[in-house]
């Protein structure tokens, strides 16, 4: 089996993550320069432009006036929303390798649900900084799984199959099959490709105890647990206990709101961004 350094050397020159996606994720917040750069980068992808125009003119975002260009799309949806949607659209192709349905259901759908559910909590708790980052960071937190699937697709589908039918964790199964797991490979790749520091941070902190996680990682981890509890990814033996731990840390009173998870799940399924992703 290859070592972590050997895997990183192998993927160094691969375009697993498109350079344009890295540059979009690295754009400064919605200042005039960043706005212009985002518009220019999106314009280069006609399929992406069509998807964003469709969403911007949908009943969820439409204000009665049809829009027809990217400048208006960014103005209507907002810089951060458009940047997140670009990440969703462009990473869709990364998740579509190998056994598309199995990988999409367990990794892509879970990652999208995790980011959006984390955003719901941030909006309720008024975690403004974390709300701006939760969607893209939640999506990219599973970068290591994308890489392992790219390196050996048949083997990774075997891992997912065993994971869905056993009590072993995905990290244990990855380690056994590859000699490395998706967490350590994701950290190494994020650093190698110089991804924005918040993305590197949430990948690094994913496997750490709750007390050692930043608020951003905590809300994303919470979103991931709610995703599993609402059938977006496998519900593991400790999912419910971990969910209650995060509720305690994040001051969420589920005792007085027993339908909390169901309400979040319904809100997710009806959310325009989630429906946008489902249409990709």
Mean pLDDT of all residues belonging to the chain? 85
Q: Tens of pLDDT along 75-104?
A: 887 887 788 777 777 666 655 554 567 787
**Is residue 14 over pLDDT 70?**
no
Return the CATH superfamily for domain 4-18+81-278.
Answer: Hypothetical protein af1432 (1.10.3210.10)
How many CA within 13 A on the CB side of residue 174? 21
DSSP 115-179: HHHHHHHHHHHT-HHHHHHHHHHHHHTTHHHHHHHHH-HHHHHHHHHHHHHSSS-HHHHHHHHHS
pLDDT of residue 13: 64
DSSP assignment letter at 104: I
Round to whole Å and give the CA distance between 135 and 115.
4
Q: Tens of pLDDT along 51-81?
A: 788 877 877 676 677 888 888 888 887 887 7
Q: Which position has the higher pLDDT, 197 or 61?
A: 197
Q: Tens of pLDDT along 137-193?
A: 888 898 899 888 888 888 988 999 999 899 999 999 999 999 999 999 999 988 888
pLDDT of residue 248: 96
Could you state, in order of their start, the residue ranges of all structural domains in the chain? Answer: 4-18+81-278
């Amino acid at each position: 089996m290859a070592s972590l350094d050997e895997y990183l050397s192998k993927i160094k020159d691969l375009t697993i993550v498109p350079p344009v996606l890295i540059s979009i994720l690295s754009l400064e917040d919605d200042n005039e320069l960043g706005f212009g750069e985002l518009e220019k980068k999106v314009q280069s992808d006609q399929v992406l432009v069509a998807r964003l125009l469709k969403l911007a003119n949908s009943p969820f975002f439409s204000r009665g006036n049809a829009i027809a260009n990217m400048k208006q799309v960014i103005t209507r949806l907002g810089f951060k929303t458009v940047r997140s949607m670009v990440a969703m659209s462009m990473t869709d192709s990364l998740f579509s390798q190998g056994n598309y349905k199995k990988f999409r259901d367990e990794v892509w759908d879970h990652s999208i649900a995790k980011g959006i559910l984390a955003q719901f909590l941030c909006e309720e708790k008024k975690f403004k900084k974390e709300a701006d980052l939760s969607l893209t960071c939640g999506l990219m937190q599973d970068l290591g799984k994308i890489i392992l699937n790219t390196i050996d697709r048949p083997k990774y589908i075997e891992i997912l199959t065993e994971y869905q039918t056993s009590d072993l964790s995905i990290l244990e199964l990855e380690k056994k099959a590859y000699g490395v797991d998706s967490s350590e490979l994701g950290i190494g790749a994020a650093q190698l490709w110089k991804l924005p520091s918040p993305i590197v941070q949430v990948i690094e902190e994913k496997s750490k105890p709750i007390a050692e996680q930043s608020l951003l990682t905590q809300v994303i981890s919470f979103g991931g647990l709610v995703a599993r509890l609402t059938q977006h990814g496998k519900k593991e033996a400790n999912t419910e206990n971990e969910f209650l731990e995060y509720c305690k840390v994040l001051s969420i009173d589920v005792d007085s709101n027993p339908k909390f998870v169901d309400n979040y799940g319904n809100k997710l399924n009806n959310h325009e961004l989630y429906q946008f992703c489902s249409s990709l």
